Amino acid sequence: MYDLFDLHSREGEKAALATDAVVLRRFACGIEGELLAALNAVIAVAPLRNMVTPGGYAMSVAMTNCGAAGWVTDRAGYRYTREDPISGNPWPPMPAIFASLATRAAAVAGFEDFLPDACLINRYAPGTKLSLHQDKNETDFTAPIVSVSLGLPARFLFGGLRRNDKVTRVELRHGDVVVWGRSARLAYHGVDTLKDGEHPLTGRCRFNLTFRKAL
């Protein structure tokens, strides 16, 4: 059912980004209304906020979490917490539609039985970006990461295991899902400065949902 199309095609179902990393084009299309409704319910309880890096800089991307664990950063460092530091309450539960999407996408990419316990929600406004980084605060690197793009398109940067390795650039559009793991699990990646635009479902922003097994 899923053929390998080239990385930059619009209609290709499944494109290799690197070894053990794939883009599932428009995989989330069809349930985006439900995803955004669930997203808004999470944000109503655990508002988006600009976290501070250990170095003291406010991140331009606004973030929140749902699930048993949430990724946070502050002057004390990067880590996962079970509670939202703003409210002191547990992060909102992961909506069933989120978890099932992540599990299905992982399976299509060759990772069976992915059960995420953390979903980081990122909101990019025009002009914001996410610098090249590795996701390495999780305890179990055998699980993949599933990343869902909603709203405005963004240029995603995907490198190798060393910061200076060559970077592949790929546009992620509304509904695209990226899955990576195994040899790509600790690859450097980032998001270029978001261009201005207007999306019918999200307005002037891009949302990204990143699912992980953190605990």
**Token couple for 148:** 């869902």
C-beta of 204: minimal distance to ligand MD6 in Å?
16
Residue with tokens 């195994």: 182
Q: Is the distance from CB of 28 to CB of 102 less than 8 angstroms?
A: no
Name the residue nearer to ligand MD6 (CB basis): 66 or 130: 130
Q: Is the distance from CB of 71 to CB of 137 less than 8 angstroms?
A: yes
- Report the helix count and the strand count for the chain, using DSSP H and E: 2, 13
Q: Measured between alpha carbons, how far apart are the two ends of the chain, in Å?
A: 33
Closest CA to 1 of 21, 31, 24: 24
Residues that bind ligand MD6 (CB under 6 A): 122, 130, 135, 145, 147, 156, 178, 189, 191, 208, 210
C-beta of 88: minimal distance to ligand MD6 in Å?
26
C-beta of 188: minimal distance to ligand MD6 in Å?
10
Residue with tokens 């539960």: 93
145 interface partner picked from ligand MD6, Fe ion, none, CB below 5 to 8 A per type = ligand MD6
Residues that bind Fe ion (CB under 5 A): 135
Name the residue nearer to ligand MD6 (CB basis): 192 or 198: 192
130 interface partner picked from ligand MD6, Fe ion, none, CB below 5 to 8 A per type = ligand MD6
Name the residue nearer to ligand MD6 (CB basis): 89 or 214: 214
